[in-house]
Each structure stands twice: as C-alpha cells, then as structure tokens.
Amino acid sequence: MRRILLLLLAAAIAAFAAQPVRARHGMVVTRERHATAIGLAVLQSGGNAVDAAVAVGFALAVTHPTAGNIGGGGFMLVRMADGRTTFLDFRERAPGAASRNMYLDAAGKATEDSTIGYRAAGVPGTVRGFEYAAKKYGSKPWAELVRPAVELAAKGFPLSYGTAGSLRGSARGLSRFPESNRIFLRDGKYYEPGETFAQPDLARTLERIARLGAKDFYEGETARLLAQDMKEHGGLITLADLRNYAVVERQPLTGAYRGYTIVTAPPPSSGGVGILQMLGVLEGTGFEKAGAGSATAVHYMAEAMRRYFADRAEHLGDADFVKVPLPSLLDPAYILRLRGSIDPERATASSQVHAGVFAAHESAETTHYTIADGQGNIAAVTYTLNGGYGSRATAAGLGFLLNNEMDDFAPKPGEANMYGLIQGEFNAIQPNKRPLSSMTPTIVLREGKPWLVLGSPGGPTIINSVLEVMVNAIDFGMNVQDAVNWPRFHHQWLPDVLNMEAGYSPDTVALLEKRGYTVKRVGAQGEVAAIRFHDGWLEGAPDPRTEGTAEGH
C-alpha cells in the first residue's frame, strides 16, 4: 500500500513538473495544431508577431469552428519591439436597430433569442480588426496571410478526436439551422475523427477576403449575402451596420504588482481592471506564504475575486457609451478598503459584498493565442463567437457561423446571462454599443522587458484563469508550463459558489468548506496560452486541458 501511495504521489508531482516548449527566435501557442503550424511558418518566412497573429486567426476560423471565427470579434494586445503598446478592439457591436428590451417577452422575461439564432448576432469585427492590425503593425502582404486559411478550407484537414466529438455533441443546436446542419453535421452523418473536413463555402468567402480585403466582408459580395440572409431570418444586421463598423485602437491599462508591470485590456473588457484590482487586493496580504494550492491562498484569492465581480456588475460597460470609473476602481485607498474587508479565517457571504459607491461613474467557448517573434514583437489575441458555435446559425452561402454576442449585454439588467453573470445598467443594450467582455490578453514586464504573455477563453472564468497563472508564476515561482497546468478555481460573486477543478486535495476542500465556502467540483476551466521570456529563450506553454500546441524556431 505504501508503494502504491508513493507511486501516486510521484505521478501527481510529475503532473506539475512539465516543461514548456523552448525556442530562440519565435514562438506560437494556439488551440489547434494546423493554426500553430501556420503561425510558425509566417514567422519563419520573415513575418512579425502581428502577421502571424492574423494568419492564425483566419486559420482557426477554419479548424476551430466552435470559437475561431470571421463572424465574431475580439481583442488584440500588441507590444512592438520598440516598446510601443496598443490594444485593438474589434469587438462586435449591437446593430443599429437593437433596443434595450429586445429580448424580453410580453411578461418582461428574457427569451432565448439573445443566445440562439439570427437575432443573437452582433455586427462582426474580426475581419476588419485583422486587416487593421496587418496594415498598421504587420509587414506581410494581406493575401499572403489569408491564403493558408483558404487552402485549409478548400482542401480540408483531418478532424481531431476532440473537434469531431465537439461537433457531434453540439448537434442539438446546430441541427436547428439547415446550413449548420449541412456543413458541420453532414445532415446527421456525423464526421468521425481523422476524416477530412472541407468547407468550400467558407473557402470562397476567404478567397474573396484575401483578394479584396475587409471591404468585401463589410461592403462587397459577402456583406450583401450576409445582410440578405439576416433579413430573410429576422436578424437585425444590415448593410449599413456592416459598412459603418470600425475598429477602435485603445490605450492598454497598466499597473504594478511586486515590481512587475502589468499591461492589460481596457474596457469594454472587464478583465484588465479586474486583474489590476485583484492583484492590488492580494499584494500585502501575505497569501503567498501559505503556498500554492493551500486553503489560505485559495481563500484570499477567492475573496478578491468575489469583490471584483460585485464591482463588475455595477460599474463596467462600453467606455464609449458610459463613464467607467476606472480611477475609483483602482484607487489605492479603495483597494486598501477591499483588502481590509477580508476576514482571514472566514468566507464573506456574497450577500454582504456590494459594489463600491463612487462619486462618478463574457463563453466558455472563446479562444486565445499568444505569439512572440525574434525581434521582440508580441501579439496576444482573444477572439470569440461567445457561446460554443455562437448562435449556431451559419450564414447562407458564406460558410461561417454567426456570433451570439448580444447575450454579453444585459438583456435584462439585474438578471443573470448565459454564464450566470449579473450585469447592470452600464451594460444595457444600445444601438452600436459594444457588449462588456471578460477577454483579458495580458503582458507582464520585468524591468521594462517582456517576461510573460498570456490569455484564455472561458467566459467570466477568463479573468480568474489569467490571474491564477500570473500568481503561479510570480508568487509561487512555477515555470510557465506548471503555472498553466496547475488546477484552477473560480468565484464570480453570484452565484455564491466556489468552483474548483480536480487536483485539490480533499483536505483543502474540507478546510474551505469549514471557512464557509460552498464548493462545487467542476471540469476544465479555461484554456491558457502563455509564453515566458527566460534567459534568452522563449518558453511556450499550451494548456493540457485542450488540444493546444506550441511550436517555436
């Protein structure tokens, strides 16, 4: 028995002694191996990190249909070799005909229209976002970046076990829409692992985009077909909505933690301000002395999470439409007050936690990828359809899935959305407004130089997944792969539940329950893609919770 226990202990230790992929001149970490290979090929042919990010984004639109997209939107955090940083916001926007109560029935109850079907879709931003990035920060011709995705869609690729299973598992929603049923489910003759999956409609759309640029998607043949399909199925997106879509370039948020500089996502992301607030609350508590995986460390981190998500519900929204009180949320005096409200021994009931009062005022199926080149340029991209396979509707004749991003608004302020998040008036639906997001691409600098780059999908769990990997690397001294592999947990204020992955000991769980937590054991949380800069090496860490890969040269 003792020998068996020692073997089990050795296996557990080995699980958290994994090594990252190392390279000198470039690193690509993505969710899917074909996309990773395409990104690496761009770097090897002289492209920079932004070029590779654009090529990877189009490739994932073919090979990872649950989240990769041209029918959705997202964010790109960029740091150039000369130290310039920028944040490209190509988040979807509400159509011009959207209205505050569009998803409420006659009795005032929220309907499923915000999550499934044509009415759930916001105006896509991905294609225009990638073109903006390539023109301003890339170095390769546009067509060269899109062509690999065209070939993947036209010739097909062998489906992985995970993707084949995902398609079959999503049949209930996809089968409701003839185009989705035909393309992704083969009208009920489900694809098997290893079968070649070709998408000729999508290939033709991507070919036009490669040849004509984003103008095709927003003003040309693709725009015309999409607007026509919307009109025929009760959707709200019009040619005018597509033509008027614009990328917004924003200044990243920056902050400090234990001597590191944190560069992260501004609103309409709720993630960056969350990361900075929670790190501020944690610094000075001494939580790290208890060690990774301890009940004390989890307790302090969960309490910081709980307090931030209460603020998120009240104060976060599209900064182009509402005045987000960033200075107040990150004010040292306010953070000190939050830290002081944590009982070292007991969980604070969420009913006792309220958003700060100031004088002024996101799917689990997203995907993130991280790229660094040999010149020192970095691109961290999180983009999404929101829910898995978005609205489950595929644009007729175009081959791409439409997002269901409108559910990231507050269809009914004060009530939970599909992720259980309570959202307030700041995130109410308005025409042309961007919904609040949890996507949190982040760069960590040490002594002014890149040290860690990361991000994750996972709806509201994104913010906490990014926080935990950063803490694992900074406070607990883990290598980047161990930091990504380590089991995660999540608290979002309401519901008042602490979700924990497998990997925490029964003793730790019992201690947390004794402190007053309601613990729920859950499956995989997040899908972090990280790169650490270490002694002249680029260290890539894909997430073992997925089929993610890292390749470098």
CA angle 380, 386, 390 (to 5 degrees): 125
Q: CA 544 to CA 484: how far, in whole Å?
A: 8
**Distance in Å from the first CA to the final CA of the chain:** 46
Spatial CA neighbour of 32 closest among 181, 161, 206: 161
Q: 3-state DSSP: the chain helix, strand, coil percent, rounded to 5?
A: 40, 20, 40
Question: Is 348 designated active site?
Answer: no
C-alpha–C-alpha distance, residues 331 and 495, integer Å: 27
> What's the chain's length in residues?
553
**Identity of the amino acid at 432:** N
DSSP state at residue 394:
B
Say if residue 247 is exposed, middle or buried (CB neighbours under 10 Å; 0-12, 13-18, 19+): buried
Q: Are 533 and 450 in contact (CB under 8 A)?
A: yes
| Candidates 366, 370, 382, 461; catalytic one | 366
Do β-strands 519-522 and 498-501 pair in parallel, antiparallel, or remain unpaired? Answer: parallel
What letter would DSSP give residue 125? Answer: -
Output the CA angle 138-140-146, nearest 5 degrees.
100
Token representation of residue 514: 């004794």
- Both tokens of 437, joined, read 């997001």
Which amino acid, 317? Answer: G
Asked if 338 and 360 touch (Cβ cutoff 8 Å), the reply is: no
3 state DSSP class of 59: helix
Give the Cα-Cα-Cα angle 313, 319, 320 (nearest 5 degrees).
140
Distances (CA, A) of 26 to 339, 494, 532, 533, 547: 40, 41, 12, 11, 21
**Residue entry with tokens 């015309």:** 224
Active centre residues (catalytic):
366
